[in-house]
Chain A
Amino acid sequence: MKTWSMAFRNILRAKRRSLITILAMAFALGIMVVYTGLMDGMIGDMKKNAVMLEMGHVQIHAEGYRESPSIYKRIQAPDVLLERLDKAGYTASYRLFASGLAAHGNSSAGVFLRGVAPDLEAETMRLPHHLLAGKWLNRNDPKDIVIGKRLAKTLSASLGDEIVIVSQASDGSIANDLYRVGGILKSISEEVDRAGLFMTVDAFRDLMVVTKGAHEIVITLPEDADLNAAASTIANMAQGLEVSTWRQLNPALAQMIDAADAFLLPLVIITYIAVAIVILNAMLMVVFERIREYGVMKALGVNPYEVFFLVLTETIIMTTAAAVLGLGFGVPLAFYLETHGINLAPFAEGATISGVALDLIWHSMVSARTILIPLVTMYVLAVIATIYPAAKAAYLNPVEAIHHR
C-alpha cells in the first residue's frame, strides 16, 4: 500500500512529465486500437466486396452441375431445403440459369440468363445495388430485366428498350419473349458485364418452362460464422447435392485475398514496432530522468526491491491512466469507423475505375480481439521498458546515482 501511495505521489509531483508520458502512451494505444480494427476491417471488406457481390458464402448445386451445367441438373426440392436453412439461421435464396440469345434491333448477343428472387437478392447481395441506370428487378414487373454494362452496349440497348430473348425451353420448345430493359448494371465481372441478363424467377420459369427446382442456392452466413463448419452443416442438410464454399467456387479470388492478408502481416508488425518504440521511449526517458531521485531514496536506506517495485508500480499506474485515455478516444473512434467507415473514393487515384462495383468505403471491424491485443501489448511493452531502468535504479550506487546526469 505504501508503495502505491508513494508511486502516486511521485507521479503527481512531476505533473507535466507524467502527463506527457501518459499522453504519448495513450496516443499510441488509441492509434493501435483504431489501426487493428481497420486492419481486420480491410480484409473483411475485401471479402465482403467479393463474396457479397453475388457469390454468397456457400452455394448448393445439383450433383455435376458445376462441372457441366445443364438446365436439367436441378435441385429438386429447393423449398424444403430453404426452410431448413432458414431454421438453422442462414439467409438463403435460389437462382435459375440458362443460356440464350438476346436481340435488339440488328444486334444480338449470347447471354447468360439468371432468374433470381428480386427482394432476397437485394437484401443479401450487393449486385442489385450497383446499377448504372434504372432500377433493380421487381416481382410485380416480370417483363423488366436488368443487363450487364457491356451487353447493353453490344445490343445498343438503353433503358426502356425492348429486347427479345430466345432460347430452348426445358421441354424442347422454342422459348422466346419480349422484355424491357429496366436496369443496367455497373461493372461487376467480365462475365456479367458481357453476358449477364437478370430476370425474376417467375419470368424465368415462364420463359424456360421450368416449373420446379433450382440450379443454385446461395447462402449468406452470419458475420462471425466459421466457413468450413457452416459448409459441413449445410452439406448434412443437403444430402446428395454439391455444397461449395466461396473459396472453392473462386479459388483465384480466395488466393488473392489470402495474399493481401499475408502482405498485411509484415506491415502490422512494423506498426507494432513503431508503437513499441513510442512506449519504450517514453518509459526510458521518464525513468532515466529520475535516476537521481532513486539514488536519494537508496541513500535514505530504501531496499532495492522496494525501489524496483516502486518504479514498476509507477509504470503500471501511468500505463493504466494511458489505457483509460487511449481506449477513451480509440474505442469510440473505432466504433465510429465501423458504422461510418472511411470513404476512400476521393483518395483513390484514377477515377476511371469508378464504374467498378467496389465499395470504396473502408470499415473498421471492432471486436474484443482488436481492443485486447493493443491493450495487452501496451502493458507488456511498458513493463519491459521499465525493467531495465528500474533494475538499474534498484541496484544503483547511491552516490553515483545522485551524480548521474
Chain B
Amino acid sequence: MKFVQNHRFYLKAYTLLLCILLFPFIIFAEQLAPPLPDADKILKKIDDLWRGESSRAIVTMRVKTVHWERTLTMEIFSEGTEKTYVKIQKPLKERGTATLKVGNEIYNYLPKTNRTIKLTAAMMMGSWMGSHFTNDDLVKESRISEDYVSKITFAGARGGKEIIELTLIPKPEAVVVWGKLVVVVRASDLQPVEITYYDEDSNPERHMAFSDYQVVSGRLLPLYMAMIPTDKPDEFTEITYKELTFDVSIPKGFFSLTQLGR
C-alpha cells in the first residue's frame, strides 16, 4: 500500500493548469467598480463572467522546491471553464508534452513515448510532489460561488494601501478541504492582491500573491502570481504571463483527444 501514500507523483504538466486559477480573478476585477459591491455577487460574477470566454496565453512557470528548481514555458488555450489545453514549449526535453482538460477529465500526451494517458481519481485528489497545488484546485476553484459563502470582513487601509478583504467559508456540504479562504483585493480597482487558504482550525496552509497589473486586450489584470506553502517558506511556484489574448477563435474539435497528440 506504500505506493498509494506516495501518490503525489503528479505529472509536472498538470500544474500548468493552475493558471486557470488566475482567470476568474482577472476577469472579475476588471468588471467591477466601486462603490462596495456585495460579496456574494462578486463571486457569482466570477463564474458568470468566465463563461463563453476563450483565450490563448504564453506563460512561464518557475517552481522551486528544496531539491530542485526549474522553469517551463508553455502555451495555453482555454474555452469557458470546462476546456483547457496546455502544451510545453521549453525545456527541450519536455517539448510537446500536452495536457487536455475537459470537464472533470484530464488527459496527458507524452511525445517521447507517443502515448495519451487519462488521469485517474487517485491522481486527481493527491497533491503533486514538489508542487504547491493539488490538481483538484483546477476543477474546484471554478465553482467558487457554489461552494463558499462569502462576506466582506474588512475594508480600509492596510499596509498603506486601501483594500477590501473577503472571507469565504465553505458551505457545510461543499466538498472542499479548506476551512476558509481569505481574499484581498485592491479597493481602487478590485484587482486581487492575495489569497490565503486556511484549515479548519484557522491555521494558514498556503498563500497566493498577485502583482504586475497590466492592461491586456483592454482588460486590467495581474500578470504575475506566486504560491507559497506556509509550512515550506523556501518553496514556491510562480507564474508569469508573457503573452495573453482574449476572445481568440479556436477551431471546433480543438479540445479533443485526436487533437491532443498533434
Contacts and interface: CB of A to CB of B under 8 A. Distances in A.
Contacts of B65: 172
Interface stretch (A104-112, A246-254, A394-402): A104-112
A110 B3 contact: yes
A191 B2 contact: yes
Top 3 nearest A-B pairs (CB, nearest first) are A112-B3, A99-B6, A172-B68
A173 B70 contact: yes
A164 B68 contact: no
A229 B158 CA distance: 65
B117 A168 contact: no
A164 B2 contact: no
A194 B164 CA distance: 52
Contacts of B63: 172
A101 interface: yes
Given A168-B9, A171-B70, 15 more contacts: A99-B7, A103-B115, A103-B117, A108-B118, A166-B11, A166-B110, A168-B128, A168-B129, A170-B68, A172-B12, A173-B12, A173-B93, A174-B97, A174-B110, A176-B113
A164 B115 contact: yes
B3 A99 contact: yes
Contacts of B94: 173-174
A170 B112 CA distance: 18
Interface size class of B (residues with CB under 8 A): 35 or more
A100 interface: yes
Interface string B88-119: 00010110010000000000101011010110
Contacts of A101: 9, 117, 120, 123
A195 interface: yes
A108 B6 contact: no
B3 A177 contact: no
Contacts of B130: 168, 172
Interface string B115-148: 1011010110000111000000000000000000
Nearest to A72: B67
Contacts of B120: 101, 108, 110
Contacts of B177: none
Given A112-B2, A168-B130, A176 B9 contact: no
A177 B93 CA distance: 13
Interface of A: 69-70, 72, 98-101, 103, 106, 108, 110-112, 164, 166-168, 170-174, 176-178, 190-191, 195
A70 B13 CA distance: 20
A75 to B, nearest CB: 16
Contact of A176 (B70, B112, B122): B112
A177 B117 CA distance: 13
Contacts, number: 86
B1 interface: yes
B4 interface: yes
B123 A174 contact: no
A240 to B, nearest CB: 19
Contacts of B91: 173
B165 to A, nearest CB: 35
Contacts of B117: 101, 103, 108, 164, 166
Contacts of B10: 168
27 contacts: A69-B5, A70-B129, A98-B9, A99-B6, A99-B9, A100-B9, A103-B115, A110-B123, A112-B3, A166-B11, A166-B108, A166-B117, A168-B9, A168-B10, A168-B11, A168-B129, A168-B130, A172-B12, A172-B68, A173-B91, A173-B94, A174-B11, A174-B110, A177-B112, A177-B113, A190-B1, A191-B1
Contact of B68 (A111, A171, A190): A171
Contact of A110 (B7, B12, B70, B97): B7
Contacts of B9: 98-101, 167-168
Nearest to B118: A108
A164 B113 CA distance: 7
Contacts of B113: 164, 176-178
A191 B2 CA distance: 8
Contacts of B129: 70, 168
Contacts of B112: 176-177
A84 to B, nearest CB: 28
Interface in B66-89: 66-70
